[in-house]
Structure 1
Amino acid sequence: MLLIEVFVPKGALSEEERQSLGRRLIDTLMTEDDSHATEVLDAQRTLTQVLVHEPVTWVLGERPPAVPDDPPRYLVRVTVPASWRKEMCEYAVDIVTGTLSETERAAGRDPERLRRRPHATVLVDGISEGGVGLHGKAMTSMDLTELVSRTYRDNTARSPAPPQPAHGTLIDPICGMSVDLDDSTLTLVHQGALYGFCHGLCRRAFADEHGLSLSQ
């Protein structure tokens, strides 16, 4: 679940450009690939929102001061549950900067300036545990994990042929992510089968569901 806030100088982008940027941010951050279950991505998309702000006053500390004809600066704040923040930081910064670069390219400006110069600042913030409210109640990280993974888990349980991992990988049974099997992989054994997990929350959700000890 994400809240993405984009701050741009007033008038720098048209309404069409703002809408396009918002859609592109969601599409790029929620890109389907072989490592993610479509059901989980779809659930995350429904909880993701993009707000584009145009502050009336924007003061930069650079010298000489920026003038209205200069290419726009961007400030982007990506807000996620605190337990997801560490894993999201590098990924979000790269994806957001790349998406802003595409906006610059489409506008006929130099897209590479955002990686050469400090013209795009991306802040990844974490919401404290229980700080997200959905369905009229405060949601913990485990609640959110359950919410976004439930459809995938139900579909997998009903499937006569569960997804099979590629060689050297395991499929996270909670979110469907493909996990490389090595010494650092989070795992649990259940009924003689080895399961791998992309995150401690997925491991905990699986343990709770099957009454397993996390100390194994």
Structure 2
Amino acid sequence: MKYLEFAKRYDLHVIIDEIYMLSVFDESITFHSVLSMKTLPDRNRTHVIWGTSKDFGISGFRFGVLYTHNKEVASAVSAFSFLHSISGIAQHKLCQLLQNTEWIDKVYLPTYRFRLWKAHKYVTAKLKSLEIPFHNRSSGLYVWINLKKYLDPCTFEEEQLLYRRFLDHKLLLSCGKAYMCKEPGWFRLVFADELPRLKLAMRRFCDVLKEQKQDLRVKQLELPASQPVTCSGTP
């Protein structure tokens, strides 16, 4: 609400991305859309976007939704989407899917959320055992992990080298820098997969950290005593 009030004060548009609205896997937490608010400071400048790529795992359909009360915005987006529309077959299939609300509510979502919860529980337990700090949330498909203690020195260049080491072990973790993170060492670890593959991925993950740790020890032994290594900062 504070963001919306700030935007109204300066005549700014607000775009709320609710792409993970169905991916809340903690039963004690309820998702609240901005559209559920009884009143909006500026109804004509508040827009909501959503898609099926995350909640339904069909990013290949390239399908998205814009909910807006602003006719000018709707007209502009319609003109833009004229050259970027999805195929008729994809539209037909999506229409069939989204109209089947009984199956979505009673079969798909309970199964989807249980699998996310199970995968999240496994991955976060592994991270805790490795004493790796992470941002714990009860929704979405990934966790933000802090690997700055494995960087020497703590720079974005070293972050990129660690990223390459993960790739060499057939692991793809997104770097924090790719998401405008101001501090080196943060990575995005996606856990939305089946347990057998997650277990394989975490074994490779541990192997990478073991190699990285060994290299850090060698590097520190080679440094003169007058050159201490530090990596400070807060997320």
TM-score, with structure 2 as normaliser = 0.24
From the two aligned structures, give the one with the greater strand fraction: 1
Please tell me whether Structure 1 or Structure 2 has the larger radius of gyration of its CA atoms: 2
Q: TM-score, normalised by structure 1?
A: 0.26
Which one scores higher on RCO, CA 8 angstroms, separation ≥ 6?
A: 1
